A and B are shown apart, each in its own frame.
Chain A
């Protein structure tokens, strides 16, 4: 008995380690990708944040110091961060309110219709992000289609371009699919029998939505909110093109450190702190609310 057990476990062990080796080899391209295109650039950002700007705007990789981090408490930084935070919150909430009913509607259709609607959600991605933002500029301009329509209706010329409304509109438009898709995924997974059961137990349709569907779709709402909030917080292109860059936001503030002040260490320290804050906030959020994601 012992004779047969021993060689078997050895064999199993060999099999197991072969499995894990194969797993590692399969994941190797992904590891390499993450290392070269994620970890390495990130490390460079962190290294630069401790360096010094020289007189000509180059970066001296010596005389390491924390000066750039000292500036993060400046009043202008706080103001820019709070403004960006507010904008990202508004964008996320508007996206959530728009996406939820739509995702619910899609998830309750026949599979063929579902597929069609989801393709519709993704069609805008076929066009470059920048081009779509410039298209909005045309749509919202003083003599653009939106303004012409309101004039036709006797409401007068609309001036939306270069306002905060235009920025929110552009951001919601750009990031809505990132809210719809995870919401749809979690709504579609809900077992219809649970809803039926709640109705059998005399729950009103509102109660069954609030007590059954909403909690079960929460992981999707959380994932979607993060996917929308993070890029909105650092958005650069949309506020510049549709907002006219009149009120500095975090994205344009960081860009101006690199491209006009040529102060790479400060730009890098802003980016580094942004990354750390977003990463820890995301982790906390996931732990608190999205355990079963």
Chain B
């Protein structure tokens, strides 16, 4: 019995050691690792940067440039969804300094106390932000915890060579008269908020509704649309469209543009947000509450908010920049592209966290699938 107990204790010790070990690794060369450390000065670094970002979201040359300018090393790990990133950060002791959560995830992280207040004095380039972004957005009303990184929209990518001239409407997905002819060649995002949101928009409702009856209506539409789908696909929807496997795809603006650029015949493709409106989203930089190197993180934010660096970001990933000062440095064809910078933003909505109603969204989505 005691032997069993001993081995159990030994195992627990191992686990504790393993956890402790990773902490040590993360905090690097022994800097003090307290989140609410003394104020950071502009341009100050306190060790190497551990950056947790979306995959393929930053020009690697920007990271190299930052390393050269400030003499620190940047380690970038990537994630493919907010929900995959959040538990790692919320568990604490992740060792990451800087993350890039989307709008609704920012409000969740604020509420759970997982991200630190931005030290605005350490980021003089905040003045480069356009007014709309500088004054704070619904998910972080006073811009206390987050700094916008890039923004974009969710809409439909179309193979015009096959589909021809069609009205810019969600009816291409949800109206049998329009959509039936493309049966088996449509993909929708495998994401309850985006896909239920598209149906809600088609019906003229807010995509942040918490009305069960509106959600029921949307569920019936999605259930019907499922019969016309090739797949629910959140990763390769752009490749499938580019290779001709599908002709209508639901997805994110920038990903489509990069894909169209790589296609043999870019003119055969287009992207739009349907006239009924759609999702607009902002990804934001936020300093992790227990970041080992908060000052380096602030300096990096300031670095990306530089006019030329901000432009480099947009020229590389084709998402719109919140950085007004960067506009002169953005390639004109990107800056003038209505796909990247939509003219009419009145019908676009941010996805906001609906609290317990998130369960209803997921349930409705799964039930709609069958």
A residues contacting B by CB (< 8 A) are: 24, 28, 31-32, 35-36, 40, 53, 55-58, 76, 79-80, 137, 141-143, 159, 161-162, 240, 243-248, 253, 256-263
Quick check: B108 and A261 within 8 Å, CB to CB? Answer: no
A58 to B: closest C-beta gap in Å: 6
Which of B15, B81, B108, B363 contacts A36 (CB under 8 A)?
B15
CB distance from A32 to the nearest CB of B (A): 5
Contact A246/B229 with A58-B90, A260-B192, A260-B362 known, Cβ cut-off 8 Å: yes
Interface string of B182-220 (1 = CB under 8 A from A): 001001001111000000000000000000000000000
Closest 4 CB pairs of A and B: A244-B231, A261-B362, A259-B83, A245-B232
Given known A58-B112, A76-B366, A247-B369, contact A263–B233 (CB-CB < 8 A): no
Task: Enumerate chain B residues within 8 angstroms of A240, measured Cβ to Cβ.
Answer: 190
Nearest chain A CB to B231 CB, angstrom units: 3
Stretch at the interface among B42-50, B148-156, B329-337, B352-360: B352-360
Residue in chain B with minimal CB distance to A79: B370
Question: B14: which of A31, A32, A246, A262 is its contact (CB, 8 Å)?
Answer: A32
Q: Which A-chain residue is minimally distant from B84 (CB atoms)?
A: A259
Q: Could you write out 23 A-B pairs with CB less than 8 Å apart? A: A32-B11, A35-B11, A36-B11, A56-B108, A56-B111, A56-B355, A57-B86, A57-B108, A57-B358, A58-B90, A76-B366, A159-B184, A162-B229, A246-B369, A256-B365, A258-B83, A259-B81, A259-B83, A261-B358, A261-B363, A262-B83, A263-B358, A263-B359
Residues of A near B232 (CB, < 8 A) are 244-246
B191 and A260 contact, CB distance less than 8 A = yes
Residues of B within 8 A of A57 (CB): 86, 108, 353, 358
Bound-state Cα–Cα, A69 to B90, Å: 25
Residues B362 and A248 in contact, CB atoms below 8 Å apart: no
Contact B84 A244 (CB under 8 A): no
Q: Which residue of B lies closest to A258 (CB)?
A: B83
Q: Report yes or no: A35 in contact with B7, Cβ–Cβ below 8 A.
A: yes
Q: For residue A40, which residues in chain B have a CB less than 8 angstroms away from its CB?
A: 11, 15
In Å, the complex CA distance between A159 and B358 comes to: 35
Distance, CA A249 to CA B355, complexed state (A): 26
Q: How far apart are the CA atoms of A254 and B103 in the complex, in Å?
A: 25
Min distance, Cβ A250 to any Cβ of chain B, angstroms: 12
How does the 8 Å CB contact mask read for B227-255 relative to A, with 1 for contact and 0 for none?
00111110010000001110000000000
Contacts A40-B15, A58-B112, A142-B244 hold; do A256 and B362 have CB atoms under 8 A apart? yes
List, in ascending order, chain A residues with CB within 8 A of B111's CB.
55-56
On whether the beta carbons of A262 and B358 are closer than 8 Å, the reply is: yes
Least CB distance, B158 to chain A, in whole angstroms: 18
State whether B369 touches A263 (Cβ < 8 A). Answer: no
Supposing A162-B231, A244-B233, A247-B369 touch, asked if A32 and B362 sit within 8 A by C-beta, the answer is no
Work out how many contacts link A and B, with CB atoms closer than 8 A: 105
| Min CB gap A167→B, angstroms | 12
Which residues does chain B contribute within 8 Å of A58, judged by CB atoms? 90, 112
Q: How far is the CB of A191 from chain B (nearest CB, A)?
A: 42
Q: A32-B7, A56-B112, A259-B84 are in contact. Are A245 and B231 (CB under 8 A)?
A: yes
Give chain B residues whose Cβ lies under 8 Å from the Cβ of A76: 363, 366-367
Contact indicator A246/B366 (Cβ below 8 Å): no
Q: State which of A79, A137, A244, A261 has its C-beta within 8 Å of the C-beta of B359.
A: A261
Q: Does B258 contact A (CB under 8 A)?
A: no
For residue B185, which residue of chain A has the nearest CB? A142
Interface centre among B11, B112, B187, B191 (most CB of A within 10 A): B11
Q: Are B81 and A162 in contact (CB under 8 A)?
A: no
Q: How far is the CB of B145 from chain A (nearest CB, A)?
A: 14
Residues in A whose Cβ lies below 8 Å from that of B370 = 79, 246-248
Alpha-carbon distance between A36 and B90 when the two chains are bound, in angstroms: 22
Shortest CB-to-CB span from B364 to chain A, Å, is 10
Answer yes or no: B326 CB below 8 A from chain A CBs: no
| Set of chain B residues within 8 Å of A261, measured between Cβ atoms | 192, 358-359, 361-363
- B3's closest neighbor in chain A, by CB? A24
Chain A residues with CB under 8 Å of B65's CB are none
Closest to A266 in B: B359
Indicate the member of A32, A35, A259, A260 with the most B CB atoms within 10 Å.
Answer: A260
Contact of B369 among A137, A248, A258 (CB under 8 A): A248
Chain A residues, CB < 8 A from B356: 53, 55
Q: How far is the CA of A55 from the CA of B291 in the complex (A)?
A: 25
Most buried by A among B187, B193, B355, B356: B356
For B163, the chain A residues whose CB sits under 8 A away are none
User: Closest A-chain residue to B367, C-beta based?
Assistant: A76
With a cutoff of 8 Å between Cβ atoms, the chain A residues found around residue B366 in the complex are 76, 80, 248, 253, 256
Of A53, A244, A262, which one neighbours B230 at CB under 8 angstroms?
Answer: A244
Residues of B within 8 A of A256 (CB): 192, 362, 365-366
Q: Which of B257-309 contact A (CB under 8 A)?
A: none
Given contacts A40-B11, A142-B245, 5 further A-B contacts (CB under 8 A): A36-B15, A56-B112, A76-B363, A256-B192, A256-B366
- Decide if B226 is an interface residue (CB 8 Å cutoff): yes
User: Contacts A253-B366, A260-B83, A261-B358: A56 and B353 contacting too (C-beta < 8 A)?
Assistant: yes
Chain B minimum-CB-distance residue to A244: B231
B83 pairs with A162, CB closer than 8 A: no
Question: Is B8 in contact with chain A by the CB < 8 A criterion?
Answer: yes
A109 to B170, CA, bound (A): 61
Report A162 CB to chain B, min CB distance, Å: 5
Closest to B192 in A: A260
Q: Which of B7, B192, B245 is A31 in contact with, Cβ under 8 Å?
A: B7
Chain B contacts for A257, CB-based, 8 A: 362
